[in-house]
Amino acid sequence: MKTITVQSQLKHYPIYIENGLLDRLNEVIPNEKHVVIIHDDHIPITIVEKVKRALPNHLEISFPQGEASKSLETYHQIMKTLLANGMTRDVTVIALGGGVTGDLAGYVAATYLRGVGFIQIPTTLLAQIDSSVGGKVAINLESAKNIIGSFYPPDLVLIDPQVLATLDPRQFANGMSEMIKYGMIADRALFDQLQKQDVRSFLLDAIVQSVSIKKRFVEADEHDRGIRMMLNFGHTIGHALEAYYHYEKYNHGEAVAIGMVRAIANIGFAEKLKSLLLKYELPTSDPVANRDLLDWIIKDKKNQTGFIRLIDVAQIGQAFIRKVSIDSFQ
């Protein structure tokens, strides 16, 4: 088992990565622990049943799949269910699923009774290498993504790459967008390896590499006020595209892929990025113009008055912040 420990200011927490880890949950989570298992209604039942068998003292809560469920309404329903079932401060919330589940369940854990236990069991590639690591939890308003949230690190993250066999190709590509991002901003060797080989031939190692990159940024800037902003490469425009299409046209990774291409000023680097994105069946363009996304872009939490902060690359493997005036953003 590979163990990566994230040293958070609030708590240090381990990330366990191993093929078949879900079959050995009772070795890492005491089965007498009182848990709430939160998942969406499209997660494979075989995965849910494995977790339930390992943790018999559980309450199960499901919600409709999709970004639209990261809402005040769903949050409210879950909180009422916890209260109605008498959940106390010794309960642990388990986020079982993708990024939406992790964000939503994490915000529940952060705010129910001012904070209860929290474990991430990510079952998508995107969640395994990105959203389950770093402690960001949030829900959306209709006009802005992740606008209500907190920093609430998990107690534990459990990553089983074997569960990715249940993903459809589009969802796998969704995660590859974030892995390619890591190569672009921090690891030229990873970028080159993704070009030369099929990631499935070294998937566990690629997940370990990606999580290790995320760990470095999180530990250096846990509250996202400096170097951690580099992880926002592609996200300012990507989040705006998701909202522009009411979270119906693109999933997160697809929108970020387009956002990364648009954020790069150097045409040569942009072409290399596009080539790799296309290899993993990700989109690289959209007909909506940047200026038509401004209503959403100016709400990005990392912007400053009058300016948009775009993450760009000085070379593949090295990123920087490029400030663009709103008036000149086309």
Q: What would the DSSP string read from start to end of 160-183?
A: -GGGGGGS-HHHHHHHHHHHHHHH
Per-residue pLDDT, 320: 94
Confidence at residue 57, expressed as pLDDT on a 0 to 100 scale: 92
pLDDT of residue 309: 86
Q: Which has the closest alpha carbon to 151: 256, 6, 322?
A: 6
Output the pTM of the full model: 0.93
- Angle (deg, nearest 10), helices 267-279 and 188-196: 50
> In the prediction, which pLDDT does 10 show?
84
Structure tokens that stand for 208 in this block: 């370990």
DSSP 290: G
Cα–Cα dist 226/145, whole Å = 21
Domains of the chain, residue spans: 2-166, 186-328
Q: Are 38 and 105 in contact (CB under 8 A)?
A: yes
CB neighbour burial string for 140-160, b if at least 16 within 10 angstroms, e if fewer:
beeeebbebbebbbbbbbbbb
Percentage helix, strand, coil, to 5, in the chain?
Answer: 50, 20, 30
Structure tokens at 329: 């953003």
Structure tokens at 7: 């040293």
Give residues with Cβ within 8 angstroms of 227, minimum separation 6: 217, 220, 221
- Range 73-94 average pLDDT: 97
CATH number for the 186-328 domain, one of 3.40.50.1000, 1.20.1090.10, 3.40.50.720, 3.40.640.10? Answer: 1.20.1090.10
C-alpha to C-alpha distance for 306 and 124, rounded to whole angstroms: 37
Alpha helices in 64-128, H assignment, sequence order: 72-84, 99-111, 125-126
Q: At 154, which amino acid appears? A: P
User: Which are the contacts of 319, defined by CB distance < 8 A and separation ≥ 6?
Assistant: 184, 185, 186, 230, 233, 311, 312, 313
pLDDT in tens, 179-220: 999 999 999 999 999 999 999 999 999 999 999 999 999 999
As a whole number of angstroms, the distance between CA 72 and CA 301 comes to: 19
Percent of the chain surpassing pLDDT 70? 98
What CATH number belongs to 2-166?
Answer: 3.40.50.1970
Stretch (H or E) spanning 13: strand 12-17
Two domains, one topology: 2-166 and 186-328: no
Angle at 266 between CA 281 and CA 231, to 5 degrees: 60
Q: With pLDDT > 90 as the criterion, what percentage of the chain qualifies?
A: 83
Angle at 19 between CA 14 and CA 20, to 5 degrees: 100
**Residues β-bridged to residue 195:** none
pLDDT tens digits, one per residue of 275-323? 999 999 999 999 999 999 998 888 665 555 678 889 999 999 999 999 8
Alpha-carbon torsion angle 19, 24, 98, 47, nearest 10 = 100
Look over the chain and give the mean of its residue pLDDT values, rounded to a whole number.
Answer: 93
